[in-house]
Structure 1
Amino acid sequence: MNRSNETALSPPGVPMKVRAVSKRFGAFTALDSVSLDVAAGELVCLLGPSGCGKTTLLRCIAGLERQDSGMLYLGSRDVSDLAPQARDYGILFQSYALFPNLTVEANIAYGLAGSQRAEARKRVTEMLALVGLTGSEKKFPGQLSGGQQQRVALARALAPAPSLLLLDEPMSALDARVREHLCTELRQLQRSLGITTLMVTHNQDEAMLMADRIAVMNNGKVEQYATPQDIYNTPATPFVAEFVGQGNWLPYEHYSGHYAQVGGINMRLAADAGRAESGRLFCRPEAISVNPVLHQENLFPARVCDITFLGNRCRMRFELNHLPGHPLTAEVGSQDLPRLGAQDIFVALPPSSLQVFA
């Protein structure tokens, strides 16, 4: 995409506020008093499984659904009761919703109704250059690849210079390689334009790659709203820990001082790991050291169950000797396999990597 002139093509983003928004469909609660603050120019991802409420929240913000209660603000404006066309946003749908009987330039110009013809033509030319499709103005959507169609839909959403950009799973129809490439380009474009953006996705890789902050949703509520790093490294709830990335769980029976008793053996925890009399310990696979060269704390004998080759790394399943029946997962570099030896290994679970959930 061409970025020589982006900042002149869109006004600076404005902050958005969601305040205690609730929405029911009959007996089903789709949104349960959801509140969010999105800073000007920020890209926030609504992440969660199907049915968690993320698309309903986006539709309420867009005015395509009417919330039962709560308030919505775009900048200083209360847009809670405004019609969709009065809310000053651009939207990119999962299906792109291009008009198949209109050319690329006519699709982009659709949102510029009311503009002078020369002004609209100039704007369309700017948008085509912005998304890297100069020369495609006379083509029809059916003559374009999926990635090109997405760029046309994005250009159409940006053409009226909205204060807010809403993205409804915009990458879901693309194959993995194209999706990753366009995620990167869309993120760079959003940053350079400074447009406040809210994106719905169930793909955690997309959310991690693109977002300034992620709102992880479940059962109509926001379980955690934080940076991608905090979501991954310090999940706030068991649901967030399980939904985002891979994880290991160890049951413990007793907590005393900075030690949790796991299978009759004490494991030392970090001072900020949290505490509860009993519960579960959580850690990420990559935090576990397998046959460490130097001695580490929480070092235990274990037995390998199986190893899965994943290219530049391997995923190893194992059980601690003192806790059979609770398989754990570690990730190691492929180059480390020769030194790991046979089925009997030692693993270290660093205290700083263990998090307590009651």
Structure 2
Amino acid sequence: MNRSNTTALTQPGAPMKVRNVSKRFGAFTALDDVSLDVAAGELVCLLGPSGCGKTTLLRCIAGLERQDSGVLYLGDRDVSDLAPQARDYGILFQSYALFPNLSVEANIAYGLAGSNRDVVRKRVGEMLDLVGLSGSEKKFPGQLSGGQQQRVALARALAPAPSLLLLDEPMSALDARVREHLCTELRQLQRQLGITTLMVTHNQDEAMLMADRIAVMNNGKVEQYATPQDIYDKPATPFVAEFVGQGNWLPFQRSSDSHANVGGMSMRLAAGAGQAASGRLFCRPEAISVNPLLHEENLFPARVREITFLGNRCRMSFELNQLPGHALTAEVGSQDLPRLGAQDIFVALPPESLQVFA
């Protein structure tokens, strides 16, 4: 994509506020008192499983659904009751929703109806240059690849220079390699334009790659709203811990402020791990050290159950000797396999990697 002079192609992004929004479909509560702030120029991902409420929230913001209660602000304007066309946003749908019988230039110009013909022609040329499709004006959507169609749909959404961009799972129809490439390009373009963006996805890799902040949703509520790093390293709830990335769970009983009893093993906990007296300890697979070269805390004998080769790393399933039948997972570099030896190993669960959930 050509990013020269892109800052002149859209107005500065406006902050968005969602205040206590609820939406019900009959007896089903799709949104339950949701509040959210998106800063000007920020890209926020709504992440969660199917049915969690993320698409309903985006549709309420767009005016395509009417919330039962709550208020929506774009900048200083209350847009809660405005018609969709009066809300000053561009939207890119999962299906792209291009008109198959219109050319690329006519698709992009669709949102510019009423403007001077020369202004429209100039704007379409700017948008095609922006998304790297100059020369494709006369083509039809059926003559383009999926990635090219997505770029045309993005150009159409940006053509009216909106202060808010809404993305509804825009990468889901693309294969993995094209998806990753376009995620990176879209993120770079969004930063360059400074347009406030709200993106719906169920793909955690997309959210981690693109977002300034992620709102993890479940059952119509936001369970955690934080940076990708905090979502991954410091999940606020068991749902967030399980939904984002891989994890291990160990049953525990607190034996002191700084120690927990797990199957007869005493594990030291770091300050800030959590205050629950009992429940489950959570640990990411990559935090576990296998046969560490130096002595580490929380070092225990274990037995390997299975090793899965994943290219530059291996996923190891194992059981702690004092907790048989309870499978755990560690990830190690492929180059470390020769030194791991036989089925009997030692594993270290660093105190700072353990998080307590009641």
TM-score when normalising by structure 2: 1.00
Aligned to 2:152: 152
SS at match of 1:12: coil
Structural mapping, 1:158-237, within 5 Å: 158-237=158-237
Q: What percent identity do the matched residue pairs reach?
A: 89
CA deviations 1:78-104 (Å, max 9, x no partner) are 000000000000000000000000000
Aligned to 2:62: 62
CA deviations 1:271-306 (Å, max 9, x no partner) are 110121110000100000000000000000000000
1:347 aligns with 2:347: yes
- Superposition CA RMSD, Å: 0.4
Aligned to 2:132: 132
Q: CA deviation at 1:256?
A: 1.2
CA deviations 1:240-265 (Å, max 9, x no partner) are 00000000000002341200000011
CA deviations 1:210-251 (Å, max 9, x no partner) are 000000000000000000000000000000000000000000
- C-alpha distance in structure 2 between counterparts of 1:255 and 1:137, whole Å: 70
SS at match of 2:302: strand
Aligned to 1:333: 333
1:12 aligns with 2:12: yes
Structural mapping, 1:1-358, within 5 Å: 1-358=1-358
SS at match of 1:150: helix
Amino acid at match of 1:263: G
Amino acid at match of 2:60: C
- C-alpha distance in structure 1 between counterparts of 2:244 and 2:89, whole Å: 29
CA deviations 1:9-54 (Å, max 9, x no partner) are 0111010000000000000000000000000000000000000000
Amino acid at match of 1:204: Q
- C-alpha distance in structure 1 between counterparts of 2:255 and 2:123, whole Å: 64
- Does the aligned pair in 2 maintain the 1:248–1:329 contact within 8 Å? yes
For structure 1, list consecutive stretches of 5 or more residues without a partner in the other structure: none
Give the aligned length. 358
- C-alpha distance in structure 2 between counterparts of 1:115 and 1:305, whole Å: 67
Amino acid at match of 2:156: R
Q: CA deviation at 1:5?
A: 1.3
- Does the aligned pair in 2 maintain the 1:305–1:317 contact within 8 Å? yes
- Does the aligned pair in 2 maintain the 1:291–1:345 contact within 8 Å? yes
CA deviations 1:50-79 (Å, max 9, x no partner) are 000000000000000000000000000000
For structure 2, list consecutive stretches of 5 or more residues without a partner in the other structure: none
- Does the aligned pair in 2 maintain the 1:249–1:282 contact within 8 Å? yes
- C-alpha distance in structure 1 between counterparts of 2:230 and 2:337, whole Å: 30
Amino acid at match of 2:74: L
- C-alpha distance in structure 2 between counterparts of 1:12 and 1:99, whole Å: 29
Deviation >6 Å, runs of 4+: none
- Does the aligned pair in 2 maintain the 1:307–1:314 contact within 8 Å? yes
- Does the aligned pair in 2 maintain the 1:255–1:276 contact within 8 Å? no
SS at match of 1:167: strand
- C-alpha distance in structure 2 between counterparts of 1:306 and 1:57, whole Å: 42
- C-alpha distance in structure 2 between counterparts of 1:277 and 1:109, whole Å: 62
- Does the aligned pair in 2 maintain the 1:214–1:231 contact within 8 Å? yes
- C-alpha distance in structure 2 between counterparts of 1:67 and 1:258, whole Å: 47
SS at match of 1:253: strand
- Does the aligned pair in 2 maintain the 1:255–1:278 contact within 8 Å? no
Amino acid at match of 1:195: I
- C-alpha distance in structure 2 between counterparts of 1:122 and 1:343, whole Å: 68
SS at match of 2:275: coil
- C-alpha distance in structure 2 between counterparts of 1:23 and 1:257, whole Å: 43
Amino acid at match of 1:63: G
- C-alpha distance in structure 2 between counterparts of 1:113 and 1:11, whole Å: 19
- Does the aligned pair in 2 maintain the 1:255–1:275 contact within 8 Å? no
SS at match of 2:7: helix
CA deviations 1:131-183 (Å, max 9, x no partner) are 00000000000000000000000000000000000000000000000000000
TM-score when normalising by structure 1: 1.00
- C-alpha distance in structure 1 between counterparts of 2:79 and 2:257, whole Å: 51
- C-alpha distance in structure 1 between counterparts of 2:195 and 2:276, whole Å: 43
